[in-house]
Amino acid sequence: MSRHLLLASLLIAVSTSAMASDLKPGQWEIIQSMSGDQMPEQMTQETTETQCMTAEESSDMIATLREDWTSSGCEDIKIRRDGDTIDAQATCPAGARTTTFDASITMHSDEHFNSMIEMDNGQQVTIEQEGHWVGENCES
């Protein structure tokens, strides 16, 4: 299952950078929690990380998300936007299994977003994120 969680983490990173055209570039704090079938307790604990979003990542969020998923080997990619909400689905091979992703990303303002990603590869995992803009300059 760890390989599939790695793919989910990739999806999270992709979805975060892909939203940058509606969010301020710079340093972001992202709070994440995961839940799912038979997940070890340590993986369900809330985590906080920081991430830098560049101005380049913000040029076209739909194209960036699609390009990143395609380069990760995902297929059957569907991305829809309705106002401040992006809904995206993809099917991604991961070893002998195929993982499906269903993501919903809501931008509340250019300094705040939240997302929910449901993945299924025979086991279901839900990843929830909340992001807040910290500032213009990214720390190394």
Domain boundaries, the chain: 2-135
pLDDT for the residue numbered 61? 64
Residue 101 has pLDDT above 80, yes or no: yes
Radius of gyration of the CA atoms of the chain, in A: 14
**Within 10 A of 120 (CB to CB), how many other CB atoms are there?**
17
User: Residue 19 in 3-state DSSP?
Assistant: helix
What is the spatial distance between Cα 7 and Cα 107, in angstroms, rounded to a whole number?
23
pLDDT in tens, 37-50: 878 887 888 999 99
Question: What percentage of residues in the chain have a pLDDT greater than 70?
Answer: 79
From 74, 86, 53, 65, select the one nearest 15 (Cα to Cα): 65
Residue 82 has pLDDT above 70, yes or no: yes
What is the spatial distance between Cα 60 and Cα 86, in angstroms, rounded to a whole number?
13
- State mean pLDDT over 71-85: 89
Diameter of the chain by CA atoms?
Answer: 42
- State mean pLDDT over 48-64: 75
Question: What percentage of residues in the chain have a pLDDT greater than 90?
Answer: 36
**Both tokens assigned to 41:** 């307790």
User: Do 91 and 75 contact (CB within 8 A), yes or no?
Assistant: yes
